[in-house]
Structures are given as C-alpha cells and as structure tokens.
Structure 1
Amino acid sequence: MWAAAYLIGGGCSDDSLMGFRAGVIGLGRVWFEWVAADPDGLAAHPLVLRAAAARDGAL
C-alpha cells in the first residue's frame, strides 16, 4: 500500500501513509479489501484517475 501511496502522491512519508490508509478506509470496506489484496487495483478509482490526469496536464 505504501508503494501505491508513493506513486499516487508523488512521495510518501509515514504521516502521509497514515492519511492515505485512512482515505482508503473511508472509501468503504469493499475498496479497502480490494486495495489491501491488490494495491495496483487502486489505479482504477476515479479520484486516482482524475489526480493523474491533472498532474499530467490533461485537465
């Protein structure tokens, strides 16, 4: 999960990981279990796709 947080956020400290994990928990049980089993699956979440597009200048 740390690697996913690092890639999505462009870096990840201990505090950032705690916030990232809390955010995933906030998405609900289904998303949390999915991300825990396969963190790469988080790349399909609409907020992650939007953040990546914004970072790439597509928005």
Structure 2
Amino acid sequence: MLHYSVIFFVIALIAAFFGFSGLAAGAAEIAKILFFVFLVVTIVSLVAGIFHSKR
C-alpha cells in the first residue's frame, strides 16, 4: 500500500510540473489517503503483534 502511495505522489509531482493542477490535486489526495491507511494498518499490526507475543 505504501508503494501505491509513493506512485500517486510521483504522479502528482509530474502532473504539477506540467501544469495539470486538477490531476495533480487528485493524485495527491489519493496518495495522502493511501499513506494514512498504510499508517493505520501498520500501527494495528504492531499492536496486534505485541499482544499476541505476550500470550
């Protein structure tokens, strides 16, 4: 998921460079959403791993 976030961020940078502001904003929003989803999934996995290892 982090991979897709980076891809959309790069697409946003390229689109912003060429002046496609609508496309750049859309790609940046998608990258931001995917990054936060990745962050939440990572934190949940870490917490679940900590609780599982204490059993």
Query: TM-score surpassing 0.5?
Result: no
Structure of larger gyration radius: 2
Q: TM-score, normalised by structure 1?
A: 0.31
Say which structure, 1 or 2, has more relative contact order (CA 8 Å, 6+ apart).
2
Q: TM-score, normalised by structure 2?
A: 0.33
